[in-house]
Chains A and B, each alone.
Chain A
Amino acid sequence: MLLIACPWCGPRDEAEFHYGGQAHVAYPEDPAALSDEEWARYLFFRDNPEGLFAERWSHTAGCRRWFNAVRDTATNEIHAVYRAGEPRPVIA
């Protein structure tokens, strides 16, 4: 049970959150202009690193806001949380 610091509510148990996978994957500007390969990439392919990963969470049992976190998937350590729309912080 991770302890996740919601940028709006503070630290809460993981069970209050919904996971949203990789962050910063924007819906394509013009899907019709994409090739099938490019569209498939948007639909189905996400990064899966062993290490730092910028990912989305939603505080579903709290403020219901989506936000982003940078977590190390090898250790589960959360290095940063930041609000949706903010740039990914640089982790030293």
Chain B
Amino acid sequence: MTGMALAPRAGAQYARILGIGAYRPSRVVTNDEICEHIDSSDEWIRERTGIITRHFADEDESVVDMAAAAAEKALAAAGISADQLDAVVVCTVTHLLQTPSAAAELAFKLGAGTPAAFDISAACAGFSYGLAIAQDLIRGGSATRVLLVGVEKLSDITDPTDRGTAFIFGDGAGAAVIGPSDTPAIGPVVWGSDGAQTEAIIQDVTWRVFRNGATHKFPSLRMNGQQVFRWAVYEIAKVAREALDSAGIGADDLDVFIPHQANMRITDAMIKQLGLPESVVVARDIAETGNTSAASIPLAMGRMLEEGQIKSGDLALLIGFGAGLVYSAQVVVVP
């Protein structure tokens, strides 16, 4: 059959992050408060994780509410209005409505008109996955300006009595507006998954089991901390190195390292593995924000910009890794 050739649509040659916005819920939760439910101490939690405080959202504060607060800041930073967006992508594992997506509701809440809108589930690698997708949407011509939000309300699926996870997680949202660029500003993504390690970080029971009444305990996250530590430090550090190679830069060219804020000990061990020079500024937002999964990288970048630790034009290595297991890294130009 000799069909007609379909009209192609060309995208921008390159893409870049135009603006970042961060939102942390107002309630600050101390380690002492966490220890009301587990046999632990402020000192133990600080030593094992580097976490001093985290933020928890209010009962009636949804992931869409938090995402909107971060998105408005990112739009303002980018100098873009919501109606100029043509795609809205939300990375989350804690939008506790199976359908519809958080992204469609978010787009409407922002007054973004009728953009393409969808959620992605890549846990703590979500933001880095989303950045790769956003860049490809723009370069492929499917979108011109993309809103990408990493948002989590992990307090909803954390068991406050679980000694392995109760102190790790926090709530928050980080957003980025991505648009066309004349020069390369988001490096090639290096990403993947390892489904053989599904059990390393996992919701303990399915919604179906919960519905059928086999358990009355609301499903929550479980994590094998040692397994995740080993994987992150000794396997995923290689991914970070590949991302540098793919971007054509060396560790000496790097200004900033923003790993997913999983655990300060993982960050420290990764720096050692990567042999990063001391001149590289390292994100340590976990101390006051906890582990916010998909939100952690943009939250950390937002704080570093606000506090003047980094500046527009800096080269930042981002790496996300988490439940799946999944991982993703790329080098970006700081907006």
Q: Do A and B bind each other?
A: no
Residues of A with Cβ closer than 8 Å to B?
A: none
